[in-house]
Amino acid sequence: MSQTADAQPFKAEKRPIQVMLVDDSAVVRGMIRRYLDPKTDIEVVATSSNGEIAVATLKRNPDIDLIVLDIEMPVMDGLTAIPLLLEVKPDIKIVMASTLTERNADISLRALAAGATDYVAKPSSGAGLSTADDFKRELIEKIYSLAPTNRVNRSSAPKSVSPVPQRPRGPVALQAGVVAKPAALAIGSSTGGPQALTRVLTDLDSTIGIPIFITQHMPATFTALLAKHLTRDTGHNVVEATDGQPVERNMAFLAPGDFHMTIEGSPTAGVIKLTQGPKVNFCRPSVDPMLQSLVKVYGRSLLTVILTGMGHDGRDGCQEVVAAGGAVLAQDEASSVVWGMPGAVAEAGLCRQILDLSAISPAIHKILGGAMT
């Protein structure tokens, strides 16, 4: 039997990203639902008022892709629910939603350590329209970035969500040549970054003899607590950077939320500068301004590491690092929560190596020891 002229090959349609909202406030659940309902490729399939109901709901509906989870709820709070949700579905994506208080920021960081994927700052009851719009934009960005790739119509994602780099058809081009002994280490990270930073710094000698500069996409309040958590958990002296602070060896300087961190001066007399200039790559702090300033100070003696994160922040800065003769390492796709930032750097051919998270600190030690050429 011959095919008719208008016969079309079967093409399976992608189903929407299935989301569950968990919050004890019906007002908040309704607000988030109104944000998501217009998106044809995002479907709110369940709502729950506490963690206990959420666990039971996930058991009944294991096809749920992502959960937006409140922290403080009656019966069972978000922090208690996380391990139970992961027990039901180990690959479930959990985005914590909390107001920007010091207590909630601390709980959110503990939630990330417990297995939550990311966080988003909820607008407070007295917040203005711009804050609510920021929450809406950020939440939708994170849902698109964290959803399984076979769920998302990337053309409908916001422009601020850079497409996830496609798996290369062949090997990614790597940089070659002699690597100069580093005089400074720069690290950029976003989604999944707190966990990745903890692993890298834990495995890295706390007396490596050079300064470390870190930009992690995080709001104010969170970064001060992240610095404390990293100091406590890794043995490194991690501080939230302040304007005019002298650069010192064996210290890690973390860019504060809502400020770009740049460095001025010389390799032996550097000074931290904080600015609230326009957002770069939709971010403040942004990795690119940090790297671009570090290149001017350290040149080819700058070693850069790009860890897990959505978007492409850091790619332009890494181009300047490589042009100056510096080296770039990137986290690989398999160990990344989102292979956006490291994937963008890898696809641009800027990496010296693309490594599993567990191999990054050993590679840094090797370069510091002059063993990589």
The active-site residue, picked from 23, 70, 288, 313, is 313
Q: Tell me, what DSSP letter sits at residue 249?
A: T
Residue with tokens 């042009």: 323
Distance, in Å, from the CA atom of 160 to the CA atom of 303, rounded to the nearest integer, reads 27
DSSP lists the bridge partners of residue 185 as 212, 303
Active site residue 313: yes
**CA-CA-CA-CA torsion sign (38, 165, 65, 30):** negative
| 116 within 8 A of 88, measured Cβ to Cβ | no
DSSP conformation letters of 287-319: HHHHHHHHHHHHGGGEEEEE-SBSS-TTHHHHH
Strands (E) located in the chain: 17-22, 42-48, 66-70, 93-98, 118-121, 184-189, 212-216, 238-240, 252-254, 260-266, 269-275, 302-306, 327-331, 353-355
Contact 298, 267 (CB under 8 A): yes
Measured CA to CA in angstroms, residue 119 lies from 70, 122, 164, 183 at distances of: 10, 9, 20, 33
From the candidates 48, 145, 162, 190, give the one annotated as an active-site residue: 190
The residues, ordered by sequence, that sit 6+ positions from 138 with a Cβ below 8 Å of its Cβ are 120, 121
Torsion of CA 348, 352, 355, 358, to 10 degrees: -140
Which residues, listed in sequence order, are joined to residue 357 by a DSSP beta bridge? none
CB distance 183 to 326 below 8 Å: no
Tokens of 146: 């964290």
Q: Which of 49, 77, 217, 293 is catalytic?
A: 217
* Residue 190 is a catalytic residue: yes
- Is 260 among the residues known to form the active site? no
- Whether the link from the prior residue into 62 is cis, omega within 30° of 0, is no
Q: Is residue 358 a contact partner of residue 307, using CB atoms and an 8 Å limit?
A: no
Helices (H), 11-123: 26-36, 51-60, 78-88, 102-114
Active site residues: 190, 217, 313
